[in-house]
Every structure is written in structure tokens, then in C-alpha cells.
Chain A
Amino acid sequence: MVKYFLGQSVLRSSWDQVFAAFWQRYPNPYSKHVLTEDIVHREVTPDQKLLSRRLLTKTNRMPRWAERLFPANVAHSVYILEDSIVDPQNQTMTTFTWNINHARLMVVEERCVYCVNSDNSGWTEIRREAWVSSSLFGVSRAVQEFGLARFKSNVTKTMKGFEYILAKLQGEAPSKSLVETAKEAKEKAKDLASKAATKKQQQQQQFV
């Protein structure tokens, strides 16, 4: 199950100013959670596009209940990669950003497209999509499915048990397991043998 986000923002600056600012936006007063920033790949393609990969580390801020549930995740910062394509000829930039650790807990992916604002060519609009997913959804689904399977198996046992006891109370020959049948036969044989022994003793006594 994935949570989807779609949003649009406008910056009242021209596309070239925004694209230049993109590389200079850290640090700023709102980025105290961003600890490090590095370019780890960069190239200009033959068709004059700039491809870059930026590595960021950010603090891992979780609510207290999450810290208690996932203590192993608390100590580690989050590593995030941001891939970007700057296309100055078309005046657009596309970015894709996602976390490369803590992924078993949660993955957040964001795709942005920056382009000239359709109403005002001196402005820049950002179309932002995000996908938030967690494999914990898979765990909770597995727990539910196991619970249901075990419940159904117990219902079968319940009904068999009912049928057994009803048949017994109503005097029908209930179908029993081989072990039960063998055990009962053994008990019955012992019983008959002891009765026969008692009878023989009594007969012998009579003849004396």
C-alpha cells in the first residue's frame, strides 16, 4: 500500500535563477536537519543536459512511539540520493529523490519537474509527486492472513468436536480414531477376562 502525494508550487523567480539556486540552497535556516551534501556524480550529455547525483545525509527525526518500536533505526542518519537532469534548452529540470537506508522501515520517493510557469514566464513552477511506502504493510497483512488461516482451522476442529460429542450423547456409534478403538478394545478385553476369572472362581467354589 503506497501513499501518494501530488502538489504544485510556484517560485516568483525565473527558471535560470531557480536552477542556479538549486545547487546553492544548503545551508539555509530551514535546513538544520540536513547534515551533509555531496555531488557524487556529474556529467554533461552529448545533447547538453546536465546529469547529477547528490548525496545528502539528514537527521532521522521520529516520534517517540516510533523510537520505541524501532530502536535500531534511531542511531542512524538517513542517506538520501537526489538524481537530477537540467535541460537548459527546454528550460526544465527533473529530479528524483529517495532514501537508500532505513528502507525496510519506510521508503519515500519524490519526483519534481521544474518548468517555466504557464501564466508568467518570469516565474517557475514545480510539480511535485511523492510515494510513501513501507514493507511493514506487508508484515501486518501476513499477520492478518495467518490469524485468519489459524481461526478457520480451529473452526473445523470445533465443528468436529461438536459432532463427536453429539453422536456420543445420542448413542450413535461415533467414528473414532484407530488408537481410541484399540484402547477401548483392550479395556473391554481386560474387563471380560477379569469377569471370566471371577465366574470361574465362583464355579469352582460351588463344586467343592
Chain B
Amino acid sequence: MNSVGEACTDMKREYDQCFNRWFAEKFLKGDGSGDPCTDLFKRYQQCVQKAIKEKEIPIEGLEFMGRGKEKPESSS
């Protein structure tokens, strides 16, 4: 899958590979410590956040799960 920043696609794929391994083998089994992907993630983020700014994609200031928290729990 491509990154929104064309130059970031390889970094994204490298990070994804590392993350997917850690996620299945460590995190889901209860071991959330020691994320081995932090360096790859940092490199990837530097690239992609720059691309996001250049393309003026409006991701700033949006609260995590923001509008989802306001939504009423529907009756089951």
C-alpha cells in the first residue's frame, strides 16, 4: 500500500513489517513493552508528517476518537 507521501512508501512498508510482527507476537499476547520499531517509526513519521503538511491535509487539532465519544450508545 502506498503512503500519501510518495517518498515515504518504503519507510512505511519497513515500519509496517516490524509493527505487524511485534503486534501479533508480543502485544496481543500481553507483552506491550519494548517496542522494537520506534526508530523505524520515527523515520517514517518525519517523512509522512512533512508530506501531510505540504499537501495541507487537515489532520491537526482533531481529538482522538473525538466525535465518536459524543455519539450516544444506541440501545441494543
Contact = CB atoms under 8 A, between A and B. Distances in A.
B64 A51 contact: yes
A201 B15 CA distance: 114
Nearest to B35: A44
A132 to B, nearest CB: 13
Contacts, number: 97
Interface in A82-96: 83, 85-86, 88-89, 94, 96
Interface string A71-88: 000000001010101101
A48 B58 CA distance: 29
A98 B64 CA distance: 12
Contacts of A35: 2
A50 B27 contact: yes
A120 B45 CA distance: 39
A81 B59 CA distance: 8
Given A36-B4, A83-B65, A16 B28 contact: yes
Interface residues of B, number: 36
B23 A23 contact: yes
Mostly helix, strand, loop or mixed at chain B's interface? Answer: helix
B57 A55 contact: yes
A20 B59 contact: no
B24 A16 contact: yes
Contact of B64 (A23, A53, A131): A53
A122 interface: no
B20 A36 contact: no
A96 B49 contact: no
Contacts of B28: 16, 19-20, 88
Counting from the closest, the 10 A-B pairs by CB-CB distance are: A96-B68, A36-B4, A48-B32, A37-B1, A26-B1, A20-B24, A16-B28, A83-B65, A44-B32, A88-B28
